[in-house]
Structure 1
Amino acid sequence: MKKLKYTLIIFLLLFSTKEIVAQKDTIALQRKARTMLRQGNELYQKQQFTDASVAYQKALGNNSNYDKASYNLGNAFYQNKNFKEAIPQYELTAKTATDKFTKAEAFHNIGNAQMEAKNYQGAVDAYKSSLRNNPNDDETRYNLAVAQKMLDKENQQNKDDKNKDKKDDKDKENKDKDDKNKDKNKDKKDGDDKDKKDEDKDKDGKGDKDKDKNKDPKKDDKKEQQKPKPKQGQMTPQQVKQLLESLNNEEKKTQKKMNAKKAKGKKIKQEKDW
């Protein structure tokens, strides 16, 4: 029984010692964190924001729940225009802070960082959270009005762009439809023109055939009868020539016979003897 009591006492002593050591370590880390925080503040005052952010990060390395270090680190990031990096530090402060005033300031700075990042919806939400913790902050209220105006403008612009895209898509769809109809009508017109051409061609051919088919033989005979023919008794030039030659020959024969008769009846001229 005594042995058990001694064992229990020794265990309590060891546990107490470890707890004391842990408390001492925690206190030492907190002191280091405060030291680094002061160094960071001095650098921040000199506008050496990059070096200040390194000091604040070391402070948080010694005490991760150090609200002041995380808040000041957010400010150092903000001053270096690292707005996206600043927001998580302010959010950590807003989460771990125990008083509403500190929470309100953290949310206010979150709103400012969101405005710089052009995240107007995020800014509106942050400013509203800040006013919930500190309703009397006129600067936050003013910033909220500006953020809301920018958000409305952005939403309207997005709406206009969306409507414009829809209109452009509809116009393109109508244009494609018109082009398609034009091509279709053109093909149809070309086909109709070709069919009409073929029809006219067939019609012309058929017309000629029909013309020949419908040709009246009697009319052709009548036309043939109406053609000028040589009159009865009218001789051709060749016949006239032959006739003239024949007459000429006959005349020559006649003249020859007459000359022969004259020669027989004419006295021979004789010399007179008285």
Structure 2
Amino acid sequence: MKLKMARYILSILLFVFALTVNAQNDRQLIREGNRMFNKQQYDKAEIQYRKAVSKNPSNPQAVYNLGCALMMQNKDSAAIVQYEKAVKLEKNKFRLASAYHNIGVICQNHKMYGDAIKAYEQALRNNPKDDETRYNLALCKKLQKNDKKDNNKKKQDKKNENNDSQKNKDKNNDKNKGENKQQQPKEQMSKENAEQLLNAAIQNEKATQQRLKKAMQKPGQRRRSEKNW
């Protein structure tokens, strides 16, 4: 019985020791990642943080730091995934605020102002004294307002352009119809003039022929020469 109890205690101790070593390992990997991060070697820091997450997926610091390393490499979509995981794991309000703040920064950079505003508001709920987040929130709201104005203006300009295009099209159609109407009488008048000229030519030719016939039928006459003395 004592032997069984000893084995049981030994098993518990080994399990606790394994957990302790595992925890130390992920913390060591985080520290190594931090050293790489501070040297601006973000790709190497990412590797260490990923190892830490692999060792302990529920470590919010490892997940958050991985998000930061990805963000510094402009891997924004992957960074947001890690930050969203971190906010589910993290209990510390200040670190929660930092994660939400970084989500807001990424969204703001991509002009996703609505999502950025929500993230900044969450950050301020966890850390109301963060002036940088408060400034970013105010700026984001202003940019969102300006963006809406620009979009409305573009829509109105497009609508006006379409209306002007339709008006010009209708105007050109009316002009073409008018020109067609004006051209038809001209064509008819030209045809009538041609017929009149042809008839006149025929009449003149007949009259000329008649005069020639009369002249040929009369006997030649001498004109008397009169002389003034």
Query: Given the two structures, how large is their TM-score scaled by the length of structure 1?
Result: 0.63
Task: Tell me if the contact between 1:108 and 1:126 (Cα under 8 Å) persists in the aligned partners.
Answer: yes
Per the alignment, residue 114 of structure 1 pairs with 107
The within-5 A match list for 1:139-178 is 139-178=132-171
Q: How many residues align?
A: 204
> Partner letter of residue 70 of structure 2?
F
Q: Does 1:58 align with 2:59?
A: no
Per the alignment, residue 67 of structure 1 pairs with 60
Query: Given the two structures, how large is their TM-score scaled by the length of structure 2?
Result: 0.74
- Alpha-carbon offset, residue 110 of structure 1: 1.0
Per the alignment, residue 45 of structure 1 pairs with 38
Do the aligned partners of residues 88 and 206 (structure 1) sit closer, same or farther apart at CA in structure 2, a change above 3 Å counting? same
Do the aligned partners of residues 206 and 19 (structure 1) sit closer, same or farther apart at CA in structure 2, a change above 3 Å counting? farther
Do the aligned partners of residues 31 and 206 (structure 1) sit closer, same or farther apart at CA in structure 2, a change above 3 Å counting? same
Do the aligned partners of residues 46 and 205 (structure 1) sit closer, same or farther apart at CA in structure 2, a change above 3 Å counting? closer
The within-5 A match list for 1:11-26 is 26=19
Between the aligned partners of 1:181 and 1:20, the Cα distance in structure 2 is 97
Between the aligned partners of 1:166 and 1:17, the Cα distance in structure 2 is 80
Q: Does 1:101 align with 2:101?
A: no
Per-residue CA deviations over 1:191-214 (Å, capped at 9, x if unaligned) read 232233335556x37996xx9xxx
Between the aligned partners of 1:175 and 1:162, the Cα distance in structure 2 is 20
Task: Tell me if the contact between 1:83 and 1:116 (Cα under 8 Å) persists in the aligned partners.
Answer: no
- In structure 2, stretches of 5+ residues that fail to align are 204-217, 224-229
- 3-state SS of 1:135 partner: coil
Per-residue CA deviations over 1:82-133 (Å, capped at 9, x if unaligned) read 3333222211111221233222121111112222233222211111111122
Between the aligned partners of 2:14 and 2:168, the Cα distance in structure 1 is 82
Task: Tell me if the contact between 1:110 and 1:126 (Cα under 8 Å) persists in the aligned partners.
Answer: yes
Task: Tell me if the contact between 1:84 and 1:117 (Cα under 8 Å) persists in the aligned partners.
Answer: no
Between the aligned partners of 1:137 and 1:182, the Cα distance in structure 2 is 67
Between the aligned partners of 1:192 and 1:21, the Cα distance in structure 2 is 111
Q: Does 1:89 align with 2:69?
A: no
> Partner letter of residue 62 of structure 2?
A
Between the aligned partners of 2:20 and 2:162, the Cα distance in structure 1 is 67
Between the aligned partners of 2:16 and 2:199, the Cα distance in structure 1 is 123
> Partner letter of residue 72 of structure 2?
Q
Query: Which has more radius of gyration?
Result: 1
- Alpha-carbon offset, residue 40 of structure 1: 0.3
Do the aligned partners of residues 50 and 196 (structure 1) sit closer, same or farther apart at CA in structure 2, a change above 3 Å counting? same
Between the aligned partners of 1:23 and 1:163, the Cα distance in structure 2 is 69
Per-residue CA deviations over 1:118-176 (Å, capped at 9, x if unaligned) read 32222111111111222232221111011111111211111111111111122222222
- In structure 1, stretches of 5+ residues that fail to align are 1-9, 212-228, 231-235, 239-274
Between the aligned partners of 2:61 and 2:135, the Cα distance in structure 1 is 26
Q: Percent identity?
A: 31
Backbone CA RMSD of aligned residues: 3.5
